[in-house]
Amino acid sequence: MSKKSIAARSIIFLLILTFALKIFSSLSIAMGYNANPLFNYSGYSIFQEPDNSIDVLAIGDSNVYSGIFPLIWWEQDGFTGYTWGQASQRIPETYEYLKQIYKHQKPSIVLIDGNNLFRDKTDIANLDSITKAKLATFFPVISFHKNLNPHKIKNIWGNRYSVMKGYYYRKSTHKVHKKKHRMKFTRKTWKINDISASTFEKCIHYCKRQGSIPVLISVPNYNGWNYRKHNALQQIADKNKINFIDLNLELKKNINWKKDTADGGDHLNIKGAQKTTAYLGEYLKNEYGLPDRRGDQKYKQWDNDVLEYHKLLKLNTK
């Protein structure tokens, strides 16, 4: 076989592979939506929102989509928000998603959850995550391949619009059985991998360059958070001169780990999310003076979404 023939076959193979990856990528996103609007928490639904209509973006892993429910901000304070969360999201993915989101939205505030800062503990793990995140910008199936499930085929024809604004509604309660002083004060600090810290700061600086105010947060998590992690994130916040809201501390007396968690302390249920989101709303309103858009016809859809949410809630609790 001649060199030209080998080269031609290689090119054809790469073209077919690229085409297949593009097809499966589109399917992996489409199948990630939920046909039932109450449970549609796909981050990609943010692209169904009118451009430049989101005041506050919350981004991070499953703690974020389980703990922050933006419709509460609208009902309580009148500003808009959206939650972009992905299970086990890595920092490089956060960075790449931010670049996609900013093509359509210019949020005043970006809440960056710090939980994913502690996932990749080695240089190899970080470089692997960076590579995957870069490739996933072209082929999302790399990140969302788990959506390619036959049981999710019906979601392809579901509504892309998220009434829930990216929040994952969970009513079930599974209390924490462990008894440990997870937030006991210490001066010790969790050692963060240098590449992780550098990539995390890239997210912070990118938001600043886009004109947003980045705010670090930690969503209440009984099993995965401690004071050493708090200290590590506080150091990053101080270094970059931004605010850090550790909701594990701020809501230490408010969150009831027997009633407010869906799975024994890893994620909040709706009761916990309501407390967390309401507290954040008050803080953001007072600290940054976000506008009250209720009554503005441009944002009438938010009133409709609140009504739709309560309607869906009744239908799913009968």
Q: Which residues pair with 215 in a beta bridge?
A: 111
Confidence of residue 181 (pLDDT cuts 50, 70, 90): low
- pLDDT of 1 strictly over 80: no
- pLDDT of 211 strictly over 90: yes
Q: What is the dihedral of CA 247, 98, 265, 191, to 10 degrees?
A: -80
Q: Is the dihedral of CA 126, 224, 204, 85 positive or negative?
A: positive
CA distances (Å), 66 to each of 86, 183, 220, 223, 259, in order?
Answer: 10, 21, 10, 15, 15
Please tell me the distance from the alpha carbon of residue 143 to that of residue 97, in angstroms, as a whole number: 12
Q: For 43-94, what is each residue's pLDDT tens digit?
A: 999 999 999 999 999 999 999 999 999 999 999 999 999 999 999 999 999 9
Q: Which residues pair with 217 in a beta bridge?
A: 113, 245
Please tell me the distance from the alpha carbon of residue 195 to that of residue 192, in angstroms, as a whole number: 9
φ/ψ (deg, to 5) at 113: -75, 140
- Pick the more confident residue, 279 or 11: 279
Q: Which residue range(s) make up the domain with 86?
A: 3-317
* Three-class DSSP category at 5: helix
pLDDT of residue 157: 85
pLDDT of residue 14: 86
Please tell me the distance from the alpha carbon of residue 270 to that of residue 219, in angstroms, as a whole number: 13
The pLDDT of 284-298, averaged and rounded, is 96
- Total structural domains in the chain? 1
Q: Which residues pair with 82 in a beta bridge?
A: 57
- Pick the more confident residue, 185 or 112: 112
Q: Which residues pair with 30 in a beta bridge?
A: none
- CATH code for position 39: 3.40.50.1110
Ranges assigned E (strand) in 2-72: 56-60
Q: For 232-289, what is each residue's pLDDT tens digit?
A: 999 999 999 999 999 999 999 999 999 999 999 999 999 999 999 999 999 999 999 9
pLDDT of residue 230: 97
